[in-house]
Chains A and B, each alone.
Chain A
Amino acid sequence: MRLFQNPSKLQNQSLLYLLALSLWALFQIVRLKEPRFQKALKNFNATYQLRSGEATLKLVFVNEKIRIVPGRTETPDFELIFLDIPGTIQHLKDYPGDVIGLLFENKIDKKGNTYFLSKLGYLLGLCERYVREQLEHYPALSSFLAIDDD
């Protein structure tokens, strides 16, 4: 993480895509396994625009599927502006459901209805719960996944 504490423009773009792809991958796994996650996607159609510096992409929820779409749109349902991607990742690692805390700690800025931020947080919370339950079921997995912070 220390490597990315003051990211360059290219690193910024890479981090944004990495974050979005990681989210997408996590969502895909949990969507397949967790019925509640599937229910959360039902009737939920929204375009989140994710931005970091000049890098922009969209996380699109439509027809119970999730897609990453490069580029920007003038009319997203919600825009999430990352001011500190490494900090965001660290915060979500410690408090996965606490997306509102990201605002207070100045890790993100936002444009749009806060409901969408809470909804995204809910999906992350479902992922956290899924991972926690898997680790409880398979304790060996937690040793395998243990990562040093530094």
Chain B
Amino acid sequence: MVPNFSQSPIASEPFDVKTLTLSHFPRLQRMRAEHINAQKTVCIERARLVTEFFRKEGVSEAGMVLKQAKALKYILANLPVPVFEEELLVGSTTQHRFGCLIFPEFFGAAIFSELPNLSKRKFDPVHIKESDIDLLAEDIFPFWQNDTIFEYARKKGNDPESLRILERMIFYILSKPNGISHIIPDYSSAVNMGLEHLIEQARFKEKSTVEPEKIEFYHATQMALRAVIDFAERYAVACEKKAVHASPEREKELRHLASVLRNVPAKPARTLEEALQTIWLLHVALHQENVNTALSFGRLDQILNPFYQNDLATSKITPQKAGELIGCFYLKMSDHTPLVPEAGKDIVGGTGTSQALTLGGLTPDGKDGVNEITFLMLKMLALLSTREPNVTARVHSESTPEYHRALVEAIYQSGAMPALFNDDVTIKSLTENGVALEDARDYGVIGCVEINSAGRTMGATGAIILNLAAVLELTLYGGVHPLSRLKIGPKTPSLEAIKNFDDFMQAFDTQLKYLIELAVDGNRRFAEAHGKLHPTPLLSSLIQGTLESGCDITQGGAKYNSTGIAIIGFADVIDSFCALQELVFEQHRISKKTLISALISNFEQDQKTYTLLKKQASKYGTDHELADRRAIEVVQNIHQLFNQQEHPRGGNYTVGYWSATMHSGMGMLTGALPNGKRRGEALSSGATPVSGVASKGPTASLSSTAKLPYQFMDNGIANNHKISRSLLKTPGKLAVLSQLIKGYFKQGGMQVQFTIHDRETLIHAQLNPDAYRDLLVRVSGYTAYFCDLNRKMQDEIITRTEDHF
């Protein structure tokens, strides 16, 4: 979308950004403190309203696109519209300063059993009103019991194996029962054209077709977009009401906000402030339609810079005021968080909403897109250091020294952000999987670290999370999972009956193929359920391709369609392969019987075998030829196996190597492995080598990861590195870090992210959480507050390999 104003890309840092500190933003200081100390509270308004609506209208497959639009209209017409003190942008995801939404039509009822004690539970207590408990228990959850996405798919498939396996969480997790998520809307269109223009486009299309389904879709999108305009008007009125009793200064702000809301999002934005308000209000509205997980912002610096430049040129803004607005925007993103059930705390505990924001990188026509807003957004990120947004910065071979310096300074200051993506391989990763070059250059990061062409892809990037270590275990034990005793795989020979390593890999492939087929089957069923029961007209209206296709994104209307996979336990499996090949099959230093016995006993009765496995086999992450070759083969094989499967929306499968906190949770469900991992220990995170094995230092570790073939990792990777803050305090070390990153990217590395804290700090934070509420770390994908993580995940971060240079 061509912006209104001429863009002036500036690769050098603006003169005053470096000097900004949080003391320049007293309002943000107060708002940030309020956020950090805010009590998490359940908000059932959305759940109540959607239930009221569907109680009257009924849940059925017929006419659901239009019904969902009507439901959204009903919700937005009746949702509370709180305007909080001091905010410069309005729109609240819930009625609380810091709230949790409930989606009863998705997985909302997972919290049902905990409702009576939710505010008293030991881990992650959440406040809930007594009357809300009653409404959820007596009305909302019972209403939806037969009409959730999961139950629809289960009943329709007559309790299929793929869904029964899913419920164990050991082998794979499928995220679609929890809603449509992990996507970047085309905010640029909304900001630059206004919603009235989008409505007009849809109206024209509606009149130009005779196909009933397309007519319904276009009608639904118009209704949904109009509902957002009306929602803005409700906020305008709320601002005016609040202005009556406000101080003179605040009254001025509120009346100004009302005037802003009477222009946007209906009309094109005219200023930076209006652009931010458009995006934020749409974001709030989208969260009333779909689950608040990984709805990401895309390349906001590209969208916002023209407005900023025009505001500067017409003296409407100063860099400091712009920084304040951006800070308010960041803090708005933190106004909601997922409601995680007790059972999920080991899998996704401590997670935020992973709303990713992408900075820098190449423009669609191949120029450097870094601009003044890029630097300002980086600076505000470092100053505020909150969990949201989950920021990634794109880097390429021509990125300027100033940009590189700003990146490492932001990483150092915040302790965790931004993550860094290498355009030079990431763009190729997308083009080699069917994305046009201009669109690939316009990629944004989603959720944790996934990559899609922004605003035009229904990528479902978190759809399938596959535990590769479980596949290994099925192979070792002939199709039986050792901890659960589940016989789910085909009957391949157990380890003792396998003659050589090639036969072992064949058995592994057989098990892997079977699990992939099951996971794909389950995902397809949920995709179908969404298409029938829960189309998303508002989100669809903001994804390129749907206007032309006349089709909801859940039914394949987007320009690009794919389904994203994340692989868990990658490095543990590679190291286990090396151990099996070298120590068992080739050198015969460990017999197969001894190995199995050692694994079953969790090495408790065989320290010798444990030491051999830990110390004598090749490891991924040491720049070792065998281990790295094995890693490359596995990455290629997994991608190919997935893409042999049919895709529900006619697209392809994208595979990534990131794990959020699931490597810790799934590690608890995994037994001892041939690389020396003990039962219950966390698996390796993302594409990172196993903690403690990168004995040759960060250069070798990065070299191993850089060799992974990018064309088979088109759902992104998380390469986690930890460096002590004390090391980086030493003069010159930040520059060394910058060189390390450049070297890694030059070798072909796709992504890297850092946690910058001393081990002692992390241990202290573990013991005294109240003193470290806002300590940020990088899990394996998103950023988290360290003290929100469960104990096992905290331990995993503490014991991560620490890079020294």
**Chain A positions near chain B (C-beta within 8 angstroms):** 36, 39-40, 42-43, 95-101, 103-104, 106, 110-111, 113-115, 117-122, 124-126, 128-129, 132
How many Å lie between the Cα of A17 and that of B116 in the bound state?
27
CB-contact partner of A122 in B113, B146, B483, B486, under 8 A: B113
Number of interface residues of B (CB under 8 A): 35
Q: Is the CB of A122 within 8 A of B117?
A: no
Docked complex Cα distance between A101 and B159 (Å): 20
Contact call B169/A99, Cβ cutoff below 8 A: no
Secondary structure of the B side of the interface?
helix
Of B137-145, B698-706, B775-783, the segment with at least 4 beta carbons within 8 Å of chain A is: B137-145
| B112 lies within 8 A of A118 (CB) | yes
Contact B342 A101 (CB under 8 A): yes
Tell me whether A121 and B134 are in contact in the complex, defined as CB-CB below 8 angstroms, given that A103-B168, A104-B169, A111-B159 are known contacts: no
The answer to whether A121 and B112 touch (CB under 8 A), given A95-B342, A101-B342, A114-B167, is: yes
Residue of A nearest to B177 (CB): A114
Residues of B within 8 A of A119 (CB): 112-113
CB-based contact B116/A98 at 8 Å: no
Complex Cα distance A113/B114, Å? 18
Give B473-495 as 1s and 0s: 1 = Cβ < 8 Å from A's Cβ atoms.
Answer: 00000000001111000000000
A97 pairs with B134, CB closer than 8 A: no
Residues from chain A with a CB closer than 8 A to the CB of B109 are: 114-115, 118
Expressed in whole angstroms, the Cα–Cα distance for A114 and B110 within the complex equals 9
CA distance A51 to B117 in the complex (A): 28
Q: Is B154 positioned at the interface, with any CB of A under 8 Å from its CB?
A: yes
> Smallest distance from the beta carbon of A137 to chain B beta carbons, Å?
15
B207 CB to nearest A CB, Å: 44
A100 in contact with B341 (CB, 8 Å): yes
Q: A98-B342, A98-B343 are in contact. Are A125 and B151 (CB under 8 A)?
A: no
B168 to nearest A CB, angstroms?
Answer: 6
| A124 contacts across to B, CB distance below 8 A | 113
Cβ of B669 under 8 Å from chain A: yes
Contacts of B484 in A (CB 8 A): 106
Asked if B120 CB lies within 8 Å of chain A CBs, one says yes
CB distance from A141 to the nearest CB of B (A): 18
**B115 contacts A by Cβ under 8 Å:** yes
Asked whether, in the complex, the Cβ of B167 is within 8 Å of the Cβ of A122, the reply is no
List, sorted by A's number, 11 A–B pairs whose CB atoms are closer than 8 Å.
A36-B137, A100-B342, A101-B342, A103-B167, A103-B343, A104-B343, A114-B150, A118-B141, A121-B114, A125-B116, A126-B116
Distance of A72 from chain B, by nearest CB (Å):
18
Mark B residues whose CB is within 8 Å of A. 109-110, 112-117, 120-121, 133-134, 137-138, 141-142, 145-146, 148, 150-151, 154, 159, 167-170, 341-343, 483-486, 669
How far is A88 from B145 in the complex, measured between Cα atoms in Å? 25
Kindly name the residue among A40, A43, A122 whose own CB sees the greatest number of chain B CB atoms within 10 A: A122
- 10 other contacts beyond A97-B342, A117-B113, with CB at 8 A cut-off? A36-B133, A39-B137, A42-B138, A95-B342, A113-B154, A115-B109, A115-B148, A122-B113, A122-B115, A129-B116
By a CB distance below 8 angstroms, the chain A residues around B170 are: 104
Check A132 against B117 for contact (C-beta < 8 Å): yes
The closest CB in chain B to the CB of A120 belongs to B113
> B168, A97: Cβ atoms under 8 Å?
no
Q: How far is the CA of A42 from the CA of B669 in the complex (A)?
A: 38
* B151 CB contacts on chain A under 8 angstroms: 113-115
Whole-angstrom distance between the Cβ of A136 and the nearest chain B Cβ? 10
A78–B134 Cα distance when bound, in Å, is 23
Decide yes or no: A113 and B145 within 8 Å by CB, A39-B138, A97-B116, A97-B342 being known contacts.
Answer: yes
Which of B112, B142, B486 lies at the interface centre, i.e. has the most chain A CB atoms within 10 A of its CB?
B112
Which B residues are CB-close (under 8 A) to A98? 113-114, 341-343
Q: Contacting B167 at CB < 8 Å: which of A95, A110, A129?
A: A110
Judge whether B168 and A115 touch: CB under 8 Å.
Answer: no
Q: Which residues of A contact B137 (CB under 8 A)?
A: 36, 39-40, 122
Q: In the assembly, what is the distance between CA of A114 and CA of B341, in Å?
A: 14
What is the minimal beta-carbon distance from B771 to any residue of chain A, in angstroms? 28
Question: Nearest chain A CB to B137's CB is how many angstroms away?
Answer: 6
**Is A125 within 8 A of B113, CB to CB?**
yes
Report which residue of B121, B145, B150, B342 has the largest number of chain A beta carbons within 10 angstroms of its beta carbon: B342
Please indicate the chain B residues that have their CB under 8 angstroms from the CB of A125 in the complex.
113-117
- Min CB distance A75 to B, Å, is 14
Q: Of all chain B residues, which has the CB nearest A104?
A: B169
Q: Which of A96, A99, A106, A121 has most B Cβ within 10 Å?
A: A121
| Cα(A141)–Cα(B343), bound, Å | 30
In the complex, the chain A residue whose C-beta lies closest to that of B486 is: A106
Q: How far is the CA of A110 from the CA of B159 in the complex (A)?
A: 11
| Interface pairs A-B: 5 shortest CB-CB | A121-B113, A115-B145, A101-B343, A118-B112, A100-B343
Q: Within the assembled complex, what's the spacing in Å between the Cα atoms of A124 and B154?
A: 25
CA A131 – CA B110 in complex, angstroms? 23
Q: Which of A40, A106, A114, A129 contacts B117 (CB 8 A)?
A: A129
A111 to B163, CA, bound (A): 11
**Least CB distance, A148 to chain B, in whole angstroms:** 21
Cα of A110 to Cα of B164 in the assembled complex, Å: 9
Q: Which residue of B lies closest to A103 (CB)?
A: B167
On chain B, the residues within 8 Å of A99 by CB distance are 113
Q: Are A128 and B141 in contact (CB under 8 A)?
A: no
Which chain B positions have C-beta within 8 A of A122?
A: 112-113, 115-116, 137
**B44 to A: closest C-beta gap in Å:** 15
* Contact for B141 among A42, A115, A117, A126, CB less than 8 A: A115
Contact, CB under 8 Å: A36 / B167: no
Distance, CA A121 to CA B669, complexed state (A)? 22
Report B-chain residues with C-beta under 8 Å of the C-beta of A117: 113
Closest Cβ neighbor of B146 among chain A residues: A113
Alpha-carbon distance A120/B141, docked complex (angstroms): 13
A96 to B343, CA, bound (A): 12
Q: How far is the CB of A109 from chain B (nearest CB, A)?
A: 8
A117 to B150, CA, bound (A): 14
Q: How many whole Å from B792's CB to the nearest CB in chain A?
A: 14
Known A-B contacts A113-B154, A115-B145; A132 and B115 likewise in contact (beta carbons under 8 Å): no
**Docked-complex contact B141 and A104, CB < 8 angstroms:** no
Closest CB in chain A relative to B143 CB, distance in Å: 11
- The reply to whether B113 and A36 contact each other, CB–CB distance below 8 Å, is no
Instruction: List chain A residues, Cβ under 8 A from B485.
Output: 106
- Chain B: which residue is nearest A111 at the CB level? B159
Q: Which residue of A lies closest to B169 (CB)?
A: A104
Alpha-carbon distance A122/B141, docked complex (angstroms): 11
Choose among A42, A95, A118, A132 the residue that contacts B120 (Cβ–Cβ < 8 A).
A132
For A96, what are the chain B residues with a Cβ–Cβ distance below 8 Å? 117
Q: Which residue in A39, A111, A115, A120 is a CB contact (below 8 Å) of B134?
A: A39
* A contact residues around B167 at 8 Å (CB): 103, 110, 114
Closest A residue to B665 by beta carbon equals A104
Q: Which residues of chain A have C-beta atoms less than 8 A from B159's C-beta?
A: 111
Give the Cβ gap from B652 to chain A, nearest Cβ, in Å. Answer: 31
A97 to chain B: which residues have CB within 8 Å? 113-117, 121, 342
Q: What distance in Å separates the Cβ of B579 from its nearest Cβ neighbour in chain A? A: 27
Q: Which residues of chain A are near B138, meaning CB under 8 Å?
A: 39-40, 42
> Which chain A residues lie closer than 8 Å to B117 at the CB level?
96-97, 125, 128-129, 132
Q: Which residues of A contact B669 (CB under 8 A)?
A: 104
Verify B146–A36 contact, CB threshold 8 A. no
